[in-house]
Chain A
Amino acid sequence: MLIKIKYFGLLTEVTNCQEETIDFSGNIISELLELLFVKYPNLKNKEFQVAQNQELVPVEAKLLSNEIVLLPPFSGG
């Protein structure tokens, strides 16, 4: 399944992109993250949360969407 992954803030400097599409055959978000950690070793050291369907989800959550968003700590206002 093709999954679109979006990155924000500091994370865009680790991945050098704002979004990308990855072919992924698993069904748990943490498995997808493992793939990303191989591609971007520095991502592992960064603090971030994962959003799916515009809600934060734990990394153990099932992949229910074909779009996953990685969000660094919020700093609005």
Chain B
Amino acid sequence: MSDKKSKNVFIKGAISSEFIGNSIAKHQTKTSIGAHNIFLGQVRADLVNNKTVSAIEYTAYEDMANAKFHEIREAAFEKFELTCMHIYHSLGTVNVGEICLFVFVSSPHRKTVFDALEFIVEEIKANVPVFGKEIFEDNSHQWKVNN
């Protein structure tokens, strides 16, 4: 029973721990699953030139981003034996310590979810047009660059 349809990926603001917990709970009825793996991206209080990041404000070229998320889903289902996968990314302001990316993969077996999760997160970082503006405590900003 795969869950391959296109989903709404973007969430306004931070992704709450309640939302993440509920997502896990919803999978208890899917009893062919033997392993879940979860990636949570958290906003880091980087220190740049003596100024501390207090939040990241995310924007995206949403049409292309949704198309890319869909392609990544299709590629992941093609490449790995997944029962289901979910991706959620924040838009707008996410404060330090809050979650901005939630990727959740499930499969009958553990090795599949270890490999699939890394593949999906790296694809998102490289190919999805999302832009992070790091806001400092004094309200100045710089544009984030992924390593």
Residue of A54, A69, A75 with highest tally of chain B CB at under 10 A:
A75
A75 x B144 contact (CB < 8 A): yes
Q: For the complex formed, measure the closest distance between the CB of B4 and the CB atoms of chain A, giving whole angstroms.
A: 20
B146 x A73 contact (CB < 8 A): yes
A6 x B61 contact (CB < 8 A): yes
Q: How far is the CA of A10 from the CA of B144 in the complex (A)?
A: 9
**Partner among A9, A51, A55, A69 whose Cβ is within 8 Å of the Cβ of B143:** A9
In this complex, how many residues of chain A approach chain B with their Cβ under 8 Å: the count is 15
Q: How far is the CA of A74 from the CA of B129 in the complex (A)?
A: 5
Q: Chain B: interface residue count, which band?
A: 20 to 34
Q: Given A6-B61, A8-B61, A54-B63: A76 and B145 within 8 A (CB)?
A: no
Contacting chain A: which of B21-29, B73-81, B108-116, B119-127? B119-127
**Partner among A10, A71, A73, A75 whose Cβ is within 8 Å of the Cβ of B61:** A71
**Partner among B41, B124, B131 whose Cβ is within 8 Å of the Cβ of A9:** B131
Interface readout for B78-115 with A: 1 if CB under 8 Å, 0 if not?
A: 00000000000100000000001100000000000000
For residue A71, which residues in chain B have a CB less than 8 angstroms away from its CB? 61, 129
For residue B41, which residues in chain A have a CB less than 8 angstroms away from its CB? 77
- Beta-carbon contacts under 8 Å, A1-16 to B: 6, 8-10
Chain B residues within CB distance 8 Å of chain A:
41, 58-61, 63-65, 67, 89, 100-101, 121, 124-133, 143-146
Chain A residues within CB distance 8 Å of chain B:
6, 8-10, 51, 54-55, 69, 71-77
16 CB contacts below 8 A, A to B, read: A9-B143, A10-B131, A51-B61, A51-B64, A51-B129, A69-B61, A71-B129, A72-B143, A74-B125, A74-B129, A75-B132, A75-B144, A76-B89, A76-B124, A76-B129, A76-B146
